[in-house]
Structure 1
Amino acid sequence: MQPPLDTNTKSASTAGRSRLTDLDALRGFALLGIAVVNATYFASAFHGTGVADPGVTTTSDRAVSTLITLLFETKFYLLFSFLFGYSFTLQRLSAQRRGTRFTAPFLRRLAALFALGAAHAVLLFTGDILTTYAVLGLVLLAAGGLRVRTVATAACVLLVLTAAFYAGLGALQAAFGPPSTLDAQAVTAHAQHATALLAGDPAQVITARLEELPDTAALLLLFQAPCALAMFLLGLAAGKRDLLARPISASALRRVQLIGFPVGLAGAGLYTHATTHGTGTPGETFALAVDVLTAPALAAAYAATLLRLIHSRYGRRIAGALAPAGRMALSNYLTQSAVLAVVFTGYGFAAIGRLAPATVLALVLALYALQLSASARWMRTHAYGPLEWLLRAATHLTLPPWRAAAERTPV
């Protein structure tokens, strides 16, 4: 017979469940932003090229596209990256409690993530984030033993250096380059070629994805990876401080909102204007530098807003809606790509270039609502999402429980 829990043990258990629920809800929320952004790339091969999309013709089309760029692009993958770094600390702590090794299982986890990401990039979506996470996870593992101040400083320095790189590149463009490096005719021809392939048979879809890989890999290496790594490190620092072990004070969250929204939206506005109207110009490169520094502020403001809602009067209902989706984020992330691929490529309806931005957004919102509902039903009876179960099996080289248990540990 188990002895009764004392007050401290009960508090620790409650705090642990609260921390996991907050993390899961934030992760579930981030899934929405990632789906909204990724859908724009599925829906049109012209998105992000700087050339006018022939499918965006009305004022409402342009308004929706602008709002997505302003409020979603380059923001939600940062939140997801922060949570990845935070969860790393929970996984390591869980291994310590069990008295098991951590490094070898974590390396197997990264290898499995890389394999899933590679398949995702080739078959469904070249903008895959899993391969990047798998590679950067090696850095996270190496940094795991560093002090909190060292890790946080390294993250800030990395963001500043990345911004300085783009600012310097913009200065060189302004001083020695042409007014714009955008070849509209070549970009249009390339987008039309990609559209034709993506609307073709499955072999043509895969060919299109393979052709996109070099350009996408360069973008990930030069822009997304440094920012994701910085957020990994900030998440690691926050996890070491056990930031979410108990509710953060409302005053602290308000300060994050008061700083993050003005700074983040100002940078997002500059980024939106430059990437829409100044592609290939020094102005766009300078805007990327600003975005590197300000997008984390907006992501933090989003997170602070959600945390305030979670710990408000209706917080249990909000967390209950989001947390199950966050608990099976990997399954939901890849399911989003699979559904969007069926809708927009030759795997299914080949609707690429044929749906207005508002229709695409409505489709994503409907898909997300279905995922929230399906995730809640699944997690009531299962210990892990389907792909989370496979990932955990590869990590620990054992078959984890399939059905839900009373308590759970971080995956």
Structure 2
Amino acid sequence: MRGFAILGIYLVNMLSFHSPYVFIDPLAWWNKGIDRITYVFIDVFAQASFYPLFSMLFGYGLMLMRERAIGRGANFRVFSARRLSFLLAVGIVHAFLVWPGDILITYACIGFIALFFLRFSAKAILISALTIYIVPNLLLGLLLLLADTVGPVENPWQLYKADAQKSLEVYGNGSYQAITDMRIYEWNFANSPDTILITLFTILPLFLIGASVAKFRWLEEPERHLKKFKAVAFGLILPAMALKTLPYYGWEGYSADFFQDFFGGPLLAIWYAAIIVLTAGKMRSATSLLANVGRMSMTNYLFQSVLSTFIFYGYGGGLYGKVSATQGTLLVLVVFIIQIVISSIWLNKYRYGPMEWMWRSFTYFKLQKLRRRENA
């Protein structure tokens, strides 16, 4: 699941790597031909569906770490604090020196809040997660729907034309310092005080859903819960796709985009998870390759950012704004295949990816065994 999520996240992130995606109307930017088809495909099948999947897996990992620490009598609070602090530090470097679309800072900060809920029962965690997610997001969605019905829908992208043009100039031709200044500006734009509560009420419950699944042990013993996964696989696909395609069959406005992303996205993410559970045992060769990418998820995530920004930014290839959505998507597939190969070769010799080894060593304040044959 984690390897699959890394692919989906890269598909979405690539739009921001090569274009001023934050400041443009994508359907107007990629408005015809194969580029429009490519963008619509990403919007429906990837956008807002893979970060929920990855977020749930992050919460799943936190709960596993807690259960294992308690099982061996270790201090989970200390370990989790170190783990999240390392993630925060890496996220800060990534956001301001590599790419402003970083998610690691958000994961680290909300991860500290999630720790409070992990002591509860699996059922209590799941109920808390659904309540925190559904109630505020549904209320906000209904308010947006009311706004759409009261007055005409205005085009908000007109406000950001200057920002889009500045991005094209700075990222495509600017110096490293100018690009860094633009990164900081863009990060502040995407992480303004107006978005903090929305982010909290979105990411936190996704963490908790993953944590509850870990505590229920549904993925550790999937054969005992096949009926649940089949019910999810067959029950969610139609409502998920109905919500994900809302903006494409006449429902226009802020509310359509909101329900598409905030409700359709997580439903499709859960559907993806169920499908992977049901098919993983029957496709071991393919899933083992994805698993290798997933075992090195931080390394691969950061590698995607470093490579892509070097290709597109002015201090590298300078191709920012000069690549189509289709060309960017083809690049994603090429890079991901390379990552599958490199991850498989690396994990034949080593226990962890480079960043994962550093992360684990810092978490336990002890250098971890890296080589597979290493005894000390």
Report if the CA contact (8 A) 1:89-1:236 is conserved: yes
Report if the CA contact (8 A) 1:166-1:286 is conserved: no
Change over 3 Å in CA distance of 1:51–1:66 after alignment to 2: closer
Q: CA deviation at 1:245?
A: 1.2
Change over 3 Å in CA distance of 1:296–1:201 after alignment to 2: same
Report if the CA contact (8 A) 2:145-2:254 is conserved: no
TM-score calculated relative to the size of structure 1: 0.84
Is residue 207 of structure 1 aligned with residue 199 of structure 2?
no
1:185-196 matches, within 5 Å, as: 186-196=159-169
Is residue 343 of structure 1 aligned with residue 343 of structure 2?
no
What are the ranges of 5 or more consecutive residues in structure 2 without an aligned counterpart? none
Report if the CA contact (8 A) 1:51-1:187 is conserved: no
Match of residue 109 from structure 2? 135
Change over 3 Å in CA distance of 1:52–1:310 after alignment to 2: closer
Is residue 389 of structure 1 aligned with residue 357 of structure 2?
yes
Change over 3 Å in CA distance of 1:222–1:151 after alignment to 2: same
- The range that moved more, 219-228 or 254-263, is 219-228
Report if the CA contact (8 A) 1:64-1:357 is conserved: yes
Task: Tell me the C-alpha RMSD between the 2 structures.
Answer: 2.3
Which of 258, 273, 279 does residue 303 from structure 1 map onto? 273
1:136-285 matches, within 5 Å, as: 136-171=110-145, 173-174=147-148, 179-180=153-154, 182=156, 184=158, 186-199=159-172, 200-218=174-192, 221-248=196-223, 249-271=225-247, 278=252, 283-285=253-255
**What letter corresponds to residue 332 of structure 2 in structure 1?**
V
Separation in 2, partners of 1:171, 1:361: 33
CA deviations over 1:32-78 (Å, ceiling 9, x no partner): 00000000111110456326655x35411111011111110000010
Separation in 2, partners of 1:60, 1:290: 22
Separation in 2, partners of 1:128, 1:51: 20
What are the ranges of 5 or more consecutive residues in structure 1 without an aligned counterpart? 1-25
Separation in 1, partners of 2:170, 2:301: 24
Is residue 91 of structure 1 aligned with residue 59 of structure 2?
no
Q: CA deviation at 1:29?
A: 0.8
Which of 279, 283, 294 does residue 326 from structure 1 map onto? 294
Match of residue 60 from structure 1? 34
Separation in 2, partners of 1:97, 1:174: 52
Match of residue 12 from structure 1? none
Change over 3 Å in CA distance of 1:222–1:112 after alignment to 2: same
Separation in 1, partners of 2:361, 2:19: 37
Separation in 2, partners of 1:323, 1:395: 22
Separation in 2, partners of 1:256, 1:142: 28
Q: CA deviation at 1:223?
A: 3.9
Match of residue 291 from structure 1? 261
Separation in 1, partners of 2:371, 2:345: 13
Change over 3 Å in CA distance of 1:368–1:294 after alignment to 2: same
**What letter corresponds to residue 268 of structure 2 in structure 1?**
L
Instruction: Provide the secondary structure at the position in 1 that maps to 2:156.
Output: coil
Separation in 2, partners of 1:30, 1:272: 25
- The range that moved more, 284-293 or 299-308, is 284-293
Report if the CA contact (8 A) 1:384-1:404 is conserved: no
Instruction: Provide the secondary structure at the position in 1 that maps to 2:191.
Output: helix
Match of residue 364 from structure 1? 332
TM-score calculated relative to the size of structure 2: 0.92
Instruction: Provide the secondary structure at the position in 2 that maps to 1:319.
Output: helix
Is residue 404 of structure 1 aligned with residue 363 of structure 2?
no
Report if the CA contact (8 A) 2:137-2:201 is conserved: no
Separation in 1, partners of 2:257, 2:197: 15
Report if the CA contact (8 A) 1:383-1:402 is conserved: yes
**What letter corresponds to residue 163 of structure 2 in structure 1?**
H
Report if the CA contact (8 A) 2:243-2:259 is conserved: no
Separation in 2, partners of 1:290, 1:385: 35
Separation in 1, partners of 2:148, 2:331: 41
The count of aligned residue pairs is 372
